[in-house]
Every structure is written in C-alpha cells, then in structure tokens.
Amino acid sequence: MNTRRRQRTTDLTLGTWKVETMLQPGKMMEIANEVLKLGIDIVALQEIRWQGHGEINKKNFTVIYSGPENQTGQYGTGFIISRKIKESILEWEPVNDRLRRIRIRGQFRNLTIISAFAPTGEKGEEEKVEFYSKLDRICSRVPKYETLIVMGDFNVKVGREECRQSIRQALPP
C-alpha cells in the first residue's frame, strides 16, 4: 500500500473595496459581515473616512485603519483582517490618509500588502506626484525576498478620450 502524505496548503484570499464611507453607525459590521460571508482573509479598504489611525479588534475580524489626523470625512485607508490571519501580522504602518501597509508572516516568505487610495484626476499635479513618490518609497523598502502586493483604488478612467490636436500633430502619419 503506497500512500502519500498530503501537504496541507493554506490559501490566502485577498480583496479590495472602496467603501465610500464607514462613518455611518453599523457600516463597519455590515462590511465585515460581507467579507466574512465570502470567506475573504484580507480586504484592503479605501475611503473609509475615519480620523486618525488605529486598530479595532472584534471576535471574528480586526480593522486596521488610517485617516487624516485633523479632520474626518475624507480619504482614509485600512484593512479588514480575518481572525485566522490576525496572528500572522508582523507589523502595520499608517503611512498617511491615502496609504497603509501591513506585513504578514508566511510559511516560506513574508508578505507586504499596501492599501492605496490615489488622488483623482481633478487633484493637482503636485498631490499626485507626492502620492506616487511616497508609494514608490514604501515599495522600495520591502526586502527583495518578500512578496509585495499593492491593492486599492487608483482612480483610473477607462474609455475613449479625444486626442488633443498637438498630440495628433506629434504622431507620425
């Protein structure tokens, strides 16, 4: 009888969700219930609109968040983390109200996940450059032997745009 020992694999299910706000009473539990019902281990959240940064521990999940220090009602990022993953968190960093980083212990290599909420197209060029520069600095600090995942809302627009006349003139026929 030739039986092989089966290795136990642990899948990690990730997601991202622009929640638009978690200021309403009961909204955190509503979102967490959906995440738990779907069996997602880690969800990156954007636009939660909470002030400051911190950690909220519940029976089946943990919320780690960061938002603006001085005001509420804008931006904010975070994570909802299932109970089974909570013990694997090595560290978390509230970078600013648009970026949050967590680091998770893995079996063979650690995992760094960044929740990002990019400025919209209407924002100034300086704000966009600052955001992407900060994101680049965070990514460059991750050791090469770790896995890096960047998730979030990058406020891209899809569809057709009219080309400007100057661009058309610059293109070869």
Mean pLDDT, the chain cut into blocks of 10 residues (173 residues total): 53 93 93 95 94 93 92 87 93 93 93 94 88 95 95 81 52 53
Q: Sign of torsion, CA 94 97 21 53?
A: positive
Please tell me the predicted confidence (pLDDT) of residue 139.
96
Q: Domains in the chain, ordered, with CATH?
A: 14-156 (3.60.10.10)
Please tell me the predicted confidence (pLDDT) of residue 163.
52
pTM of the prediction? 0.82
